[in-house]
Structure 1
Amino acid sequence: MVAAGDVASWRHPGFGRLRVEHRLNATEQGTAAARTLLGGQAPFAPVPYCWTDQYDVKIQVHGVTGGDARFQVVAGDPATGRFAGLYGRDGHVIGAMTCNLPRQARALRRHVAKRTPWRQATTG
Protein backbone atom coordinates (compact mmCIF):
# COMPACT_ATOMS: atom_id res chain seq x y z
CA MET A 1 0.00 0.00 0.00
CA VAL A 2 1.19 3.52 -0.82
CA ALA A 3 -0.23 6.75 0.60
CA ALA A 4 0.77 10.40 0.60
CA GLY A 5 -0.48 13.67 2.04
CA ASP A 6 -0.89 15.44 5.33
CA VAL A 7 -3.16 12.69 6.71
CA ALA A 8 -0.82 9.80 5.84
CA SER A 9 1.37 8.34 8.58
CA TRP A 10 4.45 6.21 8.12
CA ARG A 11 7.19 4.55 10.11
CA HIS A 12 10.25 6.80 10.01
CA PRO A 13 13.48 4.82 10.54
CA GLY A 14 14.82 7.40 13.01
CA PHE A 15 11.71 8.75 14.73
CA GLY A 16 9.15 5.92 14.71
CA ARG A 17 5.54 6.39 13.56
CA LEU A 18 4.92 9.94 12.29
CA ARG A 19 2.26 12.04 10.67
CA VAL A 20 3.33 15.55 9.69
CA GLU A 21 0.46 17.85 8.77
CA HIS A 22 2.40 20.31 6.64
CA ARG A 23 2.34 20.97 2.92
CA LEU A 24 6.09 20.39 2.48
CA ASN A 25 5.79 16.89 3.92
CA ALA A 26 2.80 16.14 1.68
CA THR A 27 4.85 17.16 -1.37
CA GLU A 28 7.83 15.04 -0.31
CA GLN A 29 5.56 12.06 0.37
CA GLY A 30 4.02 12.36 -3.09
CA THR A 31 7.47 12.17 -4.67
CA ALA A 32 8.42 9.21 -2.46
CA ALA A 33 5.15 7.42 -3.27
CA ALA A 34 5.80 7.79 -7.00
CA ARG A 35 9.31 6.37 -6.58
CA THR A 36 7.93 3.42 -4.62
CA LEU A 37 5.28 2.72 -7.27
CA LEU A 38 8.06 2.72 -9.87
CA GLY A 39 10.01 0.08 -7.95
CA GLY A 40 12.11 2.16 -5.56
CA GLN A 41 13.08 0.62 -2.22
CA ALA A 42 14.46 3.61 -0.24
CA PRO A 43 12.64 4.33 3.02
CA PHE A 44 10.91 7.70 3.39
CA ALA A 45 13.15 9.34 5.99
CA PRO A 46 13.21 13.15 5.74
CA VAL A 47 13.94 15.36 8.72
CA PRO A 48 10.37 16.42 9.62
CA TYR A 49 9.94 20.19 9.18
CA CYS A 50 7.26 22.80 9.58
CA TRP A 51 7.09 26.55 9.95
CA THR A 52 4.58 29.28 10.58
CA ASP A 53 4.61 33.05 10.26
CA GLN A 54 2.32 34.78 12.75
CA TYR A 55 2.48 38.53 12.13
CA ASP A 56 6.08 39.41 13.07
CA VAL A 57 6.91 35.99 14.54
CA LYS A 58 8.55 33.23 12.47
CA ILE A 59 8.65 29.79 14.09
CA GLN A 60 10.53 26.89 12.50
CA VAL A 61 10.64 23.31 13.78
CA HIS A 62 12.86 20.44 12.61
CA GLY A 63 12.52 16.87 13.89
CA VAL A 64 10.13 15.88 16.66
CA THR A 65 9.20 17.79 19.80
CA GLY A 66 7.02 17.48 22.85
CA GLY A 67 6.08 14.43 24.86
CA ASP A 68 8.89 13.39 27.17
CA ALA A 69 11.53 15.25 25.15
CA ARG A 70 13.90 17.49 27.08
CA PHE A 71 14.14 21.14 25.89
CA GLN A 72 17.01 23.57 26.26
CA VAL A 73 17.47 27.08 24.87
CA VAL A 74 20.83 27.20 23.05
CA ALA A 75 20.75 30.69 21.52
CA GLY A 76 19.02 33.99 22.16
CA ASP A 77 16.52 34.72 24.92
CA PRO A 78 12.81 33.85 25.00
CA ALA A 79 12.11 37.18 26.74
CA THR A 80 13.25 39.01 23.58
CA GLY A 81 11.20 36.85 21.20
CA ARG A 82 14.37 35.67 19.43
CA PHE A 83 15.65 32.30 20.56
CA ALA A 84 16.51 28.75 19.49
CA GLY A 85 16.27 25.51 21.38
CA LEU A 86 16.93 21.81 21.04
CA TYR A 87 14.80 18.82 22.03
CA GLY A 88 16.47 15.64 23.19
CA ARG A 89 15.59 12.09 24.16
CA ASP A 90 17.73 9.09 25.09
CA GLY A 91 20.89 11.23 25.03
CA HIS A 92 20.46 12.53 21.45
CA VAL A 93 19.01 15.56 19.71
CA ILE A 94 15.62 14.75 18.15
CA GLY A 95 14.29 18.23 17.40
CA ALA A 96 15.05 21.92 17.05
CA MET A 97 12.83 24.98 17.29
CA THR A 98 13.59 28.60 16.51
CA CYS A 99 11.62 31.77 17.02
CA ASN A 100 12.72 34.65 14.78
CA LEU A 101 16.17 33.11 14.19
CA PRO A 102 15.90 31.59 10.68
CA ARG A 103 19.66 31.19 10.14
CA GLN A 104 19.96 29.34 13.42
CA ALA A 105 17.18 26.94 12.31
CA ARG A 106 19.26 25.68 9.40
CA ALA A 107 22.31 25.17 11.62
CA LEU A 108 20.36 23.29 14.29
CA ARG A 109 18.72 21.04 11.67
CA ARG A 110 22.10 19.34 11.25
CA HIS A 111 22.01 18.18 14.87
CA VAL A 112 18.59 16.61 14.26
CA ALA A 113 19.66 14.92 11.02
CA LYS A 114 22.81 13.48 12.64
CA ARG A 115 21.09 12.75 15.98
CA THR A 116 23.99 14.52 17.65
CA PRO A 117 24.66 13.47 21.23
CA TRP A 118 22.75 15.84 23.57
CA ARG A 119 25.81 16.88 25.57
CA GLN A 120 27.81 17.74 22.48
CA ALA A 121 24.99 19.84 20.97
CA THR A 122 24.03 21.73 24.13
CA THR A 123 27.46 22.52 25.56
CA GLY A 124 29.41 23.49 22.47
Structure 2
Amino acid sequence: MMAYCKYNGIGVIPWSPLAAGVLARPLGTETTRLLTTIGSVFEKKVIGGDATIINRVEELAKRRNCQMCQIALAWTAAKVTSPIIGANSVQRLRESLIRGLELTAEEMAYLEEPYETKVVRGHA
Protein backbone atom coordinates (compact mmCIF):
# COMPACT_ATOMS: atom_id res chain seq x y z
CA MET A 1 0.00 0.00 0.00
CA MET A 2 2.80 2.43 0.85
CA ALA A 3 4.36 2.12 -2.62
CA TYR A 4 0.98 2.70 -4.28
CA CYS A 5 0.26 5.74 -2.13
CA LYS A 6 3.71 7.22 -2.72
CA TYR A 7 3.44 6.67 -6.48
CA ASN A 8 0.02 8.36 -6.60
CA GLY A 9 0.86 11.19 -4.20
CA ILE A 10 -1.56 9.95 -1.55
CA GLY A 11 -0.79 10.92 2.04
CA VAL A 12 -0.83 8.26 4.73
CA ILE A 13 -1.54 8.83 8.41
CA PRO A 14 -1.00 5.52 10.21
CA TRP A 15 -3.01 4.76 13.31
CA SER A 16 -1.18 3.00 16.13
CA PRO A 17 2.31 2.68 14.65
CA LEU A 18 3.36 0.93 17.87
CA ALA A 19 0.72 -1.78 17.27
CA ALA A 20 -1.09 -1.04 20.54
CA GLY A 21 2.22 -1.18 22.41
CA VAL A 22 3.50 -4.43 20.93
CA LEU A 23 6.52 -2.57 19.49
CA ALA A 24 7.09 -0.68 22.73
CA ARG A 25 8.18 -3.52 24.99
CA PRO A 26 9.98 -6.88 24.78
CA LEU A 27 8.09 -9.87 23.43
CA GLY A 28 6.18 -11.69 26.17
CA THR A 29 5.77 -8.67 28.44
CA GLU A 30 2.32 -8.80 30.04
CA THR A 31 0.37 -5.60 30.56
CA THR A 32 -3.15 -4.89 31.72
CA ARG A 33 -4.03 -3.72 28.21
CA LEU A 34 -2.67 -6.89 26.66
CA LEU A 35 -4.46 -9.15 29.11
CA THR A 36 -7.82 -7.41 28.65
CA THR A 37 -7.72 -7.86 24.87
CA ILE A 38 -7.05 -11.61 24.82
CA GLY A 39 -9.81 -13.37 22.89
CA SER A 40 -11.29 -10.12 21.60
CA VAL A 41 -11.10 -8.49 18.18
CA PHE A 42 -8.56 -6.07 19.69
CA GLU A 43 -6.02 -8.78 20.54
CA LYS A 44 -2.73 -8.24 18.71
CA LYS A 45 -1.54 -11.66 17.62
CA VAL A 46 2.15 -12.12 16.93
CA ILE A 47 2.29 -14.10 13.70
CA GLY A 48 4.75 -14.75 10.89
CA GLY A 49 7.83 -12.56 11.17
CA ASP A 50 6.34 -10.38 13.93
CA ALA A 51 8.39 -11.94 16.74
CA THR A 52 11.61 -11.43 14.78
CA ILE A 53 10.72 -7.80 14.12
CA ILE A 54 9.88 -7.14 17.78
CA ASN A 55 13.16 -8.74 18.86
CA ARG A 56 15.06 -6.64 16.32
CA VAL A 57 13.38 -3.45 17.56
CA GLU A 58 14.49 -4.40 21.08
CA GLU A 59 18.03 -5.16 19.87
CA LEU A 60 18.37 -1.82 18.07
CA ALA A 61 16.95 0.06 21.08
CA LYS A 62 19.60 -1.50 23.31
CA ARG A 63 22.32 -0.76 20.77
CA ARG A 64 21.15 2.86 20.41
CA ASN A 65 20.47 3.26 24.16
CA CYS A 66 16.86 4.35 23.68
CA GLN A 67 13.32 3.04 24.10
CA MET A 68 11.85 0.41 21.78
CA CYS A 69 9.02 2.79 20.94
CA GLN A 70 11.58 5.33 19.74
CA ILE A 71 13.09 2.84 17.29
CA ALA A 72 9.63 1.93 15.97
CA LEU A 73 8.66 5.60 15.67
CA ALA A 74 11.97 6.47 13.96
CA TRP A 75 11.14 3.80 11.38
CA THR A 76 7.63 5.26 11.01
CA ALA A 77 8.99 8.81 10.69
CA ALA A 78 11.14 7.68 7.76
CA LYS A 79 7.96 6.54 5.99
CA VAL A 80 5.32 9.16 6.92
CA THR A 81 5.14 12.59 8.52
CA SER A 82 2.07 12.38 10.76
CA PRO A 83 1.50 9.12 12.63
CA ILE A 84 -1.21 8.97 15.28
CA ILE A 85 0.65 7.52 18.26
CA GLY A 86 -2.20 7.43 20.78
CA ALA A 87 -0.10 8.22 23.86
CA ASN A 88 -2.12 7.54 27.01
CA SER A 89 0.07 9.43 29.48
CA VAL A 90 2.58 12.26 29.62
CA GLN A 91 5.32 9.68 30.19
CA ARG A 92 4.35 7.79 27.01
CA LEU A 93 4.25 11.07 25.10
CA ARG A 94 7.76 11.95 26.31
CA GLU A 95 9.03 8.47 25.40
CA SER A 96 7.65 9.01 21.90
CA LEU A 97 9.92 11.97 21.20
CA ILE A 98 12.48 10.95 18.61
CA ARG A 99 14.13 14.27 17.78
CA GLY A 100 17.49 13.55 16.21
CA LEU A 101 16.98 9.78 16.04
CA GLU A 102 17.26 8.52 12.48
CA LEU A 103 17.80 4.93 11.48
CA THR A 104 20.44 4.00 8.95
CA ALA A 105 19.48 2.32 5.69
CA GLU A 106 20.93 -0.90 7.09
CA GLU A 107 18.83 -0.64 10.26
CA MET A 108 15.69 0.05 8.20
CA ALA A 109 16.36 -3.00 6.02
CA TYR A 110 17.10 -5.09 9.13
CA LEU A 111 13.70 -4.22 10.60
CA GLU A 112 11.81 -4.70 7.33
CA GLU A 113 13.40 -7.96 6.15
CA PRO A 114 11.25 -10.42 8.18
CA TYR A 115 7.94 -8.60 7.47
CA GLU A 116 5.13 -10.67 6.00
CA THR A 117 2.05 -9.07 4.43
CA LYS A 118 -1.03 -9.16 6.70
CA VAL A 119 -4.65 -9.73 5.84
CA VAL A 120 -6.70 -6.54 6.28
CA ARG A 121 -8.73 -6.79 9.49
CA GLY A 122 -12.24 -5.45 10.00
CA HIS A 123 -13.23 -5.24 6.35
CA ALA A 124 -15.28 -7.69 4.32
Q: Return the TM-score normalized by structure 2.
A: 0.26
Which structure's relative contact order is higher, taking Cα pairs within 8 Å and 6+ residues apart?
2
Q: Return the TM-score normalized by structure 1.
A: 0.26
**Structure (1 or 2) with the greater strand fraction:** 1
- The structure with the larger Rg is 1
